[in-house]
Amino acid sequence: MSDRPGVTEAPKKYTKKDFESDQDVRWCPGCGDYAILSAIQKMMPDLGIPRENIVFISGIGCSSRFPYYMNTYGFHTIHGRAPAIATGLRLARPDLKVFVVTGDGDGLSIGGNHLLHVLRRNVNVTILLFNNRIYGLTKGQYSPTSELGKVTKSSPTGSADRPVSPCAFALGAGATFVARTVDRNVAYMEETLRRAAQHHGAAFVEILQNCNVYNDLAWNVLYDRESKIMNELRLEHGKPLLFGPVDDRHGLVLEGATPRVVRVKDAPESALWVHDDGDTWKAHVLSQLWTPDFPIPIGVLMQVEAPAYEEVLLEQERTAIAERGPGDVATLLVSGDTWRIG
């Protein structure tokens, strides 16, 4: 507000630099986290939210250093518990914009239970899961997303674990926004992050991120220029699912519930699968597509609307207070050994 009577100042217009903290960024040189940090800082001014109303919450891992590097409020919490802290904060301060930053180990191993519940409840938070298919902070053990047979320090004869699909997990848990993006496509990553941040409800974004020290080029099928042509399926609402070189386009069709790859020149246009990001069932199908049989879907798999958890809970509280009064905890605690409810 202006100190001149009757004059209101325009909201501050932020730039990327406004969201850069004074802390030295300490990731390994070449880490994909640098690109993600830059994309988020560049995207933040578009939200039009004051910095003092933004909070980044993280758990444990390389990705979880994020709050130090954002010139906003933040919590660096304990392993896997960022979603629980974020839920509590949204209930206490529903006016704040809350981001959760986690990784494939932090979010899907020790934090899997907490991640499931923040998604199924549809808490109004934006969850960014950095997936590098490895435990980087602890020096290269296999993670919940490491591929079957992956040889690491903790799986010298190859991992026997089937990998988790983060997007399939999020959809199964009940997220209302699910997307996937890649650290090396910064412009597209910014747009995906912007859409996620503007979503009302639990938004989940899997970011395929490179750990150049312990799992370099884990996503090379999407990094290599030639390989990317046949392995990246860019999702655009209302458009056919197409990929491949310009002179030999491929597409997807659905035969009942089964997806199939076809050459566009061999299939009628009406047969091609047109992406609808409001179709929950088809989003589940998309989440299961993976190389080498299918290209990897990149973009927004699904976006639907549903009441946010904290809004439902706070409305219940307002109704109870209106009907029964505000109550008095101190009086309740000294009122005797038994309490009557109802």
Q: In the predicted model, is pLDDT for residue 42 greater than 50?
A: yes
Per-residue pLDDT of 156-170, as tens digits, reads 999 999 999 999 999
326 belongs to a structural domain: no
140 belongs to a structural domain: yes
Q: What is the residue-averaged pLDDT of the chain? A: 93
CATH number for the domain including 90?
3.40.50.970
168 belongs to a structural domain: yes
Residues with Cβ within 8 Å of residue 105, at least 6 apart in sequence:
61, 135, 143, 144
259 belongs to a structural domain: no
79 belongs to a structural domain: yes
Q: In the predicted model, is pLDDT for residue 303 greater than 80?
A: yes
Q: What is the share, in percent, of the chain residues with pLDDT greater than 70?
A: 96
Q: State residue 336's pLDDT score.
A: 79
Determine the Cα angle at 278 with ends 273 and 280, to 5°.
80
Q: State residue 120's pLDDT score.
A: 97
Task: Please compute the mean of the pLDDT values over residues 290-311 and round it to a whole number.
Answer: 97
280 belongs to a structural domain: no
- Report yes or no: 59 and 82 within 8 Å, Cβ to Cβ: yes
User: What are the angstrom distances between the C-alpha of 85 and each of 80, 103, 177, 249, 311?
Assistant: 10, 16, 20, 46, 17
Quote the number of domains for the chain: 1
283 belongs to a structural domain: no
Per-residue pLDDT of 316-341, as tens digits, reads 999 999 998 988 888 878 887 777 77
Show the domain range for 171: 16-218
The Cα 103–Cα 124 span in angstroms is 19
24 belongs to a structural domain: yes
Per-residue pLDDT of 59-114, as tens digits, reads 999 999 999 999 999 999 999 999 999 999 999 999 999 999 999 999 999 999 99
- By three-state DSSP, how is residue 277 classified? coil
